[in-house]
Amino acid sequence: MGKSRTGRIFFVFAFVCAIAIPAIEIQASGGVATGSPPAGGKSGRLIVQRAPNFGTDLVVRLSIDGTRVADIPRNQHYGSFLSAGHHVLTVLALPKTDSRRPTSMRLTVQSGHVYIFNATWESDRLVLRPSTSYSPTTRVNAVQN
């Protein structure tokens, strides 16, 4: 029983650290996405992770409001803060082939909310599916624009 409780406490601690500890600041146009909350405090948290069956040789390219912010390889995720308001998330599987097209979705960020998405396949199309769980992985480094 002691090992089970210790494991549970460690998992909760790891989850809190992954969500709460801001990493690097993302250089996105207009200051949309940052590794720490904006000064005004009107922001939400965005996490994009790969589905387990996404593909070992594929990378998820994530763009926010038309600006490339991350290329997410296997066993990594993107995490950052977004200013409250309307945003467009776009994903593309790389290496790109002529048959793969980017997929976009609109997201309205509310201050203080956490948005978790899994990049996954729906037939032959890459989509961002809302998730209620976070899988602890390494945070991806920001793309320098």
Lowest mean pLDDT among 5-14, 50-59, 72-81, 111-120: 5-14
Query: What CATH number is given to the structural domain containing 55?
Result: 2.60.40
Q: 123 and 43 in contact (C-beta within 8 Å)?
A: no
Residue 25 lies in a domain: yes
Residue 18 lies in a domain: yes
Q: 75 and 108 in contact (C-beta within 8 Å)?
A: no
Residue 52 lies in a domain: yes
Residue 144 lies in a domain: no
**CA 64 – CA 9 distance, rounded (Å):** 34
* pTM for this entry: 0.68
The confidence score (pLDDT) of residue 18 equals: 46
**CA 117 – CA 78 distance, rounded (Å):** 10
Residue 42 lies in a domain: yes
**CA 110 – CA 112 distance, rounded (Å):** 6
Residue 54 pLDDT more than 90? no
How do residues 120-132 score in pLDDT, each as one tens digit? 998 888 999 998 8
Total domains present in the chain: 1
**CA 139 – CA 47 distance, rounded (Å):** 10
3-state secondary structure of 121: strand
Segment (H or E) for 56: none
Residue 22 pLDDT more than 60? no
Q: What are the two backbone dihedrals, phi and then psi, of residue 116, each rounded to the nearest 5 degrees?
A: -115, 130
Structural domain of residue 71, as residue ranges? 2-139
Q: First and final CA of the chain: distance in angstroms? A: 50
